[in-house]
């Protein structure tokens, strides 16, 4: 059921977030995250969330990410884990899947080009 626009969005419980195993390995980037002062439910979808509500919530979360001093670190964390839920580093889970697919294609293209270059140089 759609919520009337004048009611606040309902938020779901936030799944446990994975943090680096040791602070000295990855650094304490998460302690500087802008989202630490915002409602965490803004970044994670409630179950059975209507599409319009999801889009509005994701856009609000992305606005928080846009002003975050550690957005790049957060995004890389989400891509390297990979985080299956929520908005991380200004990207939704679907956007992160696309970014990962692009990275894989780029890596394959670079590897193929490097191999072709070595073969041409040897020939």
Answer yes or no: are the C-beta atoms of 35 and 68 closer than 8 Å.
Answer: yes
The answer on whether 54 is annotated among ligand-binding residues is no
H/E element holding 52? helix 51-66
| 88 DSSP β-pair partners | 91
CA distances from 11 to 52, 87, 112 (A): 14, 13, 46
Q: Is 74 known to sit in a ligand binding site?
A: yes
Binding residues: 35, 65, 68, 74
Binding residues for [4Fe-4S] cluster: 35, 65, 68, 74
């Amino acid at each position: 059921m759609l919520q009337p626009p004048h009611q606040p969005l309902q938020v779901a419980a936030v799944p446990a977030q994975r943090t680096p195993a040791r602070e000295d390995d990855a650094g304490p980037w998460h302690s500087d995250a802008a989202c630490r002062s915002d409602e965490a439910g803004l970044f994670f979808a409630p179950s059975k969330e209507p599409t319009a509500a999801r889009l509005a919530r994701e856009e609000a979360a992305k606005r928080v990410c846009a002003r975050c001093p550690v957005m790049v670190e957060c995004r890389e964390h989400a891509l390297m884990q990979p985080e299956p839920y929520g908005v991380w580093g200004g990207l939704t889970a679907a956007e992160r899947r696309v970014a990962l697919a692009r990275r894989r294609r780029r890596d394959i293209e670079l590897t193929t080009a490097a191999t072709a270059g070595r073969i041409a140089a040897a020939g």
